[in-house]
Structures are given as structure tokens and as C-alpha cells.
Chains A and B, each alone.
Chain A
Amino acid sequence: MKNVKDRFWEKIGPYLLVAPAMTGIALFVIYPIIKLISMSFYKVNQLNPDKTKFVGFSNYQKMFKTAEFQKALVNTGYYALFMILIVLGCSLILAVWLGSKKSRVNSAAQASAFLPHIISMVSVGLIFQQMMDPDYGIFNALLGAMGLQKSQFLRSSDSAMNSVIFTSAWKSIGYYTLILIAALQSIPESIYEAADLDNAGSVRTFFKITLPMISPQIFFVLIVMTIGNFKVFETIRVMTSGGPNNATTSLVYYIYNKVFMDFDVGRAAAGGVILLIIVGIMTVLYFVSLSKKVHYQ
């Protein structure tokens, strides 16, 4: 027969033990989200909080009407889509190439592919910004030397976003390559030997063995990249400030701009809510549509 104390502990104890972690989550995740959502319905007066007034959906209505926000939405989607396609594709190719056998050349290539990841994004952005200068940059000098047409890179709305994607992709590929190489190397050799005995071709081996075996890591990379790319900020802040003509304004840059340049906190909060919804939907969609196809050993 358990005494009252034991029964009490059995019921309450677990809650008390998870309470510290839950308090942290409540304070630093749940409360800010609720506050963000509530602020998005107010016209916030930072100097005199008494004058902050409820405006309903006005912040959202006005935000969706502006070209700046519309462009920010399209740009963020475009950036995320192409970053995922390019980075995932290139990382996979590099990983299969570099991870296939261990040679000095491969190790050196692996290290140099990873190198951009350890450089700060601010430095990378500034260096690429100079290299992409239409008048004095090395890129146009090379294009000119090869007899190709020069590009305006960051100075034209047509090429600015692609230039930013190129820079971000250059920096990210090495990191994801490393994750995929580790995944490839964890595939038991015996499976490949068995496939070899069955005379499976290399393409078939790749699609039927390699890809399914590393699918958990690809799934992880996909989730992390989607969320990360929807939150792109520093590359844009450093390289273009969202310009020219809002061609590179992303959702997060829009939010930053509203808070720290226009001091319109309500509108920024509305932008934050939209970002939260988009990233939330994307993550749920991935889990629902892809999780069944991921092969777990």
C-alpha cells in the first residue's frame, strides 16, 4: 500500500522534473510567439506605450498591399527554392565523388569544399560584393577576358538575387557535403558487394541503394535548409540591403527594416507572423509527405 506522499510524488514528480525545461520554453519560445501575434494587431508606440492602439488586421492588410512585402515574399520563396536545388544537388554530387574512395586528393578537395563554411558570412558577403563589382570586379574581368558578356551582378534587379544565391550556395555546399559524406560512409560495404554480385549497374546501385540509405540525412538537410533559407538575412544585409529596387528583400530583411529603419513594430510583427506560418507549413508538409519515404535502418 503506497502512502499518500508516494502517490503524490508519482503524479506530480514528473511535472516538477520537466518544469525547468518547460519554463525555459514557455519564457523564451511560447511567450515571445504569443507576444508577436498580439503585437501584430496593434499600432505600437514605442515611446509612449499608453498610446499603443488595437488596429485589428490593418497591419496585415497594409503590409500585403505594399510592393516591398510582395517582393519580399516572392524573393524569399525564389531564394529558398533555388538554394535547396543547387546546394542539395551539388552537395550530393560532391559527396558521391569525394566519399567514394579515400585518396589524398579527395581529402584535400573535401577540406577545401568545407573551408567556406568556417568563414563568417559578413566577410564572404563583402569579398563577393567586391568581386562582383560591375566596373572593377574580378568576375567581369574574367568574363571579359573569355569574350563573354559582362553582368551587372548586384547592381541590377535582374541579376542581384542570382548573385546572392551564388554567394550563399558557395558558402553552404561544403557543409552539407560533409554531412552527406558521413552518411555515405556509414552504408555497410556488404550491401554494395551484394549488389555487385547481382551485377547491378552503378546508376541502379545509386538510386536503389545509396539514395535510400542516406535518405534520413537528406531529409534532415532538406528540413534544416528550408527553415534556414526562409530566414535568410545576413547575406542580404551585407551585400545588397534588399536592393536594388527591392529585388533582394527577404522576409526577415523586411522585418528588420520595419523595426530598425521605419520603427513600425506592429507591421514588423505582422511580417514575423507570416514567416512563422510559412516555415510552420513547410515543416509540417515535409514531415507528412516525405517521412514515409525516408528509409530508417
Chain B
Amino acid sequence: MKRTMKRMTAWVMASAMMLGLAACGGSSSSGEAQTPAATEAAKTEAAKAETTAPAAEAPASGEKTKVNFWHSMSGSNGELLQSIVDDYNASQDKVEVVAEFQGDYYAAIAKAQTAIAAGNGPDILQTGSGQVSILAKEEGVLENLVPWMDKSGMEFSDFDPTFITGMSLDPNNTESLVAFPMGCSTPVMYCNMDILKEAGAEVPTSWEEMSELSKKLIADGKIEYGFSLIHDCWYFWMFVAQNDTTVFSEDGMKFQCVDDGTGIEAMQVVQDMCKDKVMYFGPAQDSAAACRGMFLDGKCAFYINSCADLKSVESNATFDYSVQYIPKMKVNAVPSGGNTLTMLASAANKEAAWDFMHWLYTDNGGVATFAANTGYLPCSKTIAEQPIIKEKRATNPNYEVAYNQLEYGNNSHMVMQPNNGDVANSITAMMEACFYDFEDVEERMKVVKEEAEDILIDLQ
């Protein structure tokens, strides 16, 4: 009897297991079959939506159409974004936007890639301006927003070209725009005005002036370093552009600034500043906190970081400070960065998603509120004209300076090579070797050139 029971149990277990396996096999095979089909369906949907838009998506009476919105804002910025979404949801009764935090830009784009391939992507995705190209280079993944803009009377030229190029998109191709700039920033220089006043010095406008002044202040024992610069390859693009040159060749395939020596020259200037303790190059981890700390503790007279850090400086500085233009090398130039908003071509409810996006970019409570409360810059003329931004610019001269510096926006590296993010590792390694270890700039730049060009060929 016992034996029979044992056998029966074994058979039951075995059968259950086989069933389980069969179920696994079934789901995986259907999953594989679904992917290309889903992509195809999404493409057809996308084509349909552009021509016949709304009718098919009208919600049943009394029911709100749901829009999934994935974002990368955490902490107070996350709360702010959620309150903006809540305001939108409360402002009308047709669309319900569900905002979900998906980790930082890298985590969000990693999740989005998997979800899109599986046909489960969100309707709207916020992602870093450097990550848009990952989705944009794959045809049919992102929705072209121009037809939607035309329908709603939004102008392409309304957006600041600095922020369009900051997303590796071409501002001259007005037929296609797969992302809207959202939280937009450029580097600015935060100055300790008390130190300058005490030394009777003016704000430096060039790196030469910066070096001269910093050396004097260090010699007088007022500071330990001239300025702190955060650990970011953003500044490589900035310094090279400031030497009135471009990193890449016209076709985007050659690391031209090494061939013509202009990039080497620019990096040499920066390395010399590091050697003279004029520049403090921040640590790889927690760089902004470390560099800001140096500035707030009075160990540096200047601090260079994104204008989005203004809020942190404002709330922690115990001295008189101001935001100023980044000093120039040969010319003034600042890159732009931040985050963007995209609609996926596979979005189930495009009409509803567009309604939310349109509201964000035209209402005072949308991106304008987001920018004014975070310190990001307005990305379009319409947003710059919203009451909340006008008030911010009028009452906060530091914000106004950051906004005016946009005249020197320069993202030539993004325009010539949209996939520049792929060479960031090599550039960062070079910056660390040159600014921490003081290795030979020319030699290191040649290594970057070789590695970068290999990577770029590989991308073809």
C-alpha cells in the first residue's frame, strides 16, 4: 500500500512537472513569435494613427483613457513631476496619465528596450538626452512628433535649437522630431562673490584670467583650488568646442580634433590648470556633492556644474554667490544636456498621449512649472513666455544669467556624431589619466582617437 502511494506521489509530481515544462515552453515560444508580430502591428498602428488618428481611440463613455508614462525623476523632482501629472489628470476627464519611476536614465532605457522588444513599452518615456539616440537609431521605435505638432499648431522653430541638437537631433530637419527636450540644462559657473570682493577681483571671463586669479588667491591662502569641475565627459565636449573646433569630422567617423591638434591643445590647457591646482577635477563617485562641498566650504572660489544645481547651491550657500558664464578659451561655448520626452510608436493610446504632451508644452502648469521649480531652463519660446518662467527670470538673476548663456549653446559633437555616448568611456578614461595622473595629453588623446574610431566603425 505504502509503496503504491509512493509511486502515485512520484507520478503526480512527474506529471505536474511535465505540465509545468510544457507551459513554460508554450509561453516562451509564443513570446518569441509575438515579438516581430507585435512590432509589425505597432508599425501598422503608427501608420494608421498618422492618417486616421482619433476615432479608434475614443474611450467608452465615462471611462478615462490610460496613458503609461515612464520617467527617471526621483526625490523632490519626482514628487514635482507627480504633482504636475496629477494637475493634468484633474484638469480634464478623458485621459488618465499613470506616471511610473523607472530608475535613472540608464536603468530606464535598459528596461524600455526590453519592454519595447516584448511589445510592452510605455506610451510616453522620459529619458536622458544622451540616451535618445539609442531608441532613435532604430527605425519605427519612436513616434515622429511633427505631424502631431502640425495638427495642434505647435511650431518646430519654437524649440531652442541648442536643446534640439543636445538630443543628437538635427534642427534643420523640420520633417522629423522624435523627442521633445524636457529638463534642459547647460553648465554654468557658480562664484563666491565674498572671496572676489575681498580680493578686489572681477569675475574671470577666460581660462587665462581664471588661472591668474586662482593662483593669486591660492598664494594668499584664501582658497585651496581655483574652481571645482565635476567628473563628466560633458566638459570634454565643452573645452574642445571652446577651442573653436569640432571633435568629429563632418561625416562623424574621425576623431578630428586629434588629427589637427586642436583637441590636444584644449586638453593641455585643462591639464595645466589641474597641475597648478587651479582646477579640482571631482571624484568619479558623488562628484557633484564633492565639488559643491568644496565650493560651499570656501575651499574653491568657483564651482562648475549644470544650472540645474542652482537649487542646491541656493539652499546651502552661507555667502554671497552668483551664477556667471563659463569662462572662454578661444570662444564661448556650452553643451546642453538633461532629459527628453518621447512618444513610442507602439503607444496604444497616441491621441491621449499627445493630449498630455501638448498640455505639458503649452500650459503654465506643465514643463514650465517643472523648469521653474527645478532650475532647468525653458526649452521653447512658448515655455519661456509662461507666467511662472517670466516670474522666475525676473526675480532670480542667477536663473536669468543661465538662460542668457544659451546664446553660446554648442552641441556640434552631438550633431556630427549622434552615437557619441559610445565613446564616452574612452574619453572619461583619458580625462582621468590626464587630470588625476598627469599622463601625457598627446599620447592619451591618440589612444582615445584609436579606440573611438574603432567603436564608430563598429556601429556602422
Contacts and interface: CB of A to CB of B under 8 A. Distances in A.
Contacts of A20: 13, 17
Interface string B96-112: 00000000001101100
Contact of A245 (B114, B294, B437, B451): B437
A247 to B, nearest CB: 8
Given A135-B224, A244-B433, A263 B110 contact: yes
A13 B107 CA distance: 47
Contacts of B110: 259-260, 263
A241 B284 contact: yes
A66 B448 CA distance: 11
Contacts, number: 100
Contact of A19 (B14, B286, B429): B14
A46 B137 CA distance: 12
Interface string B130-158: 00001100100100000000000000000
A133 B283 CA distance: 9
Contacts of A133: 283, 290
Contacts of A263: 109-110, 113, 134
B221 to A, nearest CB: 16
A124 interface: no
Contacts of B451: 66-67
A162 B285 CA distance: 18
A154 B281 CA distance: 13
B432 A49 contact: no
Interface string A247-269: 00000000001011111000000
A135 B7 CA distance: 72
A23 B284 contact: no
**Which of B11, B284, B430 is most buried by chain A, counting CB atoms within 10 A of its CB?**
B284
A245 B436 contact: yes
B13 A68 contact: no
Contacts of A238: 285
Interface in B389-432: 422, 425-426, 428-430, 432
A9 interface: yes
**Which of B10, B107, B430, B436 is most buried by chain A, counting CB atoms within 10 A of its CB?**
B436
Nearest to A262: B422
Interface range on chain A (Cβ under 8 Å from partner)? 35 or more
Contact of A243 (B7, B224, B426, B428): B428
B432 A261 contact: no
B36 interface: yes
B454 interface: yes
Nearest to B458: A62
Contacts of B437: 156-158, 244-245
B429 A245 contact: yes
Contacts of B116: 47
Given A20-B17, A48-B39, A244-B284, A68 B429 contact: yes
A65 B299 CA distance: 42
A261 B284 contact: no
Contact of B114 (A23, A46, A240, A257): A46
Contact of A47 (B107, B117, B432): B117
A154 B39 CA distance: 46
B106 A260 contact: yes
Nearest to B280: A135
Nearest to A267: B458
Contact of B433 (A45, A48, A245): A245
Interface string A144-165: 0000000010111110000000
A16 interface: yes
A246 interface: yes
Contacts of A39: none
A263 to B, nearest CB: 6
A19 B17 contact: yes
Contact of B454 (A62, A135, A156): A62
A243 B432 contact: yes
Contact of B36 (A49, A244, A261): A49
Interface in B372-392: none
B117 A46 contact: yes
A23 B451 CA distance: 44
Contacts of B7: 9
B458 to A, nearest CB: 7
Contacts of A16: 10-11, 13-14
Interface in A1-27: 9, 13, 16-17, 19-20, 23, 27
A239 interface: yes
13 contacts: A23-B17, A46-B117, A47-B141, A62-B454, A68-B429, A129-B283, A133-B283, A152-B436, A241-B285, A245-B432, A245-B433, A259-B110, A262-B425
Interface of B: 7, 10-11, 13-14, 17, 21, 24, 35-36, 39, 106-107, 109-110, 113-114, 116-117, 134-135, 138, 141, 224, 283-286, 290, 294, 299, 422, 425-426, 428-430, 432-433, 436-437, 439, 447, 451, 454, 458
Interface of A: 9, 13, 16-17, 19-20, 23, 27, 45-50, 62, 65-68, 129, 133, 135, 152, 154-158, 238-241, 243-246, 257, 259-263
Give the 8 A-B CB pairs with smallest separation, nearest first.
Answer: A244-B432, A245-B433, A46-B113, A245-B432, A47-B138, A243-B284, A241-B284, A244-B436
Given A68-B426, A245-B429, A262-B425, 4 more contacts: A129-B285, A152-B436, A238-B285, A243-B432
